Structure 1
Amino acid sequence: MKNFTQMMKQAQELQGRMHEMQAEMEAMTCEGRAGAGMVTVTLNGKGEMTGVAIDASMLKPDESEILEDLIVAAHADAKGKVEEAMKEKMAALTGGLPIPPGFKLF
Structure 2
Amino acid sequence: MFKGLGGFGDMAKMMKAAQEMQGKMEEMQARFDTMTATGESGAGLVKATATLKGELTALDIDPSIFQPDEKEVVEDLILAAIRDAQSRAAEKMQAEMSRMGEQFGLPPGMKLPF
Cα displacement string for residues 34-57 of structure 1 (whole angstroms, at most 9, x for unaligned residues):
001100111112110111111111
Cα displacement string for residues 15-63 of structure 1 (whole angstroms, at most 9, x for unaligned residues):
1111121122111111111001100111112110111111111111110
Which structure has the larger Rg over C-alpha atoms?
2
Could you list the runs of 5+ residues in structure 1 that have no partner in the other structure?
none
Could you list the runs of 5+ residues in structure 2 that have no partner in the other structure?
1-7, 103-107
User: Residue 18 in 1 paired to residue 19 in 2?
Assistant: no
- Percent identical across equivalent pairs? 42
Number of aligned pairs? 102
The letter for the 2-side match of 1:98 is: M
Relative contact order (C-alpha < 8 Å, sep 6+): which is higher?
A: 1
Aligned ranges 1:1-106 → 2 under 5 Å:
1-95=8-102, 96=108, 98-99=110-111
* Matched residue SS, 2:33: helix
Alpha-carbon distance, 1:77 to partner: 1.1
| Root-mean-square deviation over aligned CA pairs | 1.7
TM-score under structure 2 normalisation? 0.82
Contact 2:52 2:86 (8 Å CA) reproduced: no
Moved over 2 A (4+): none
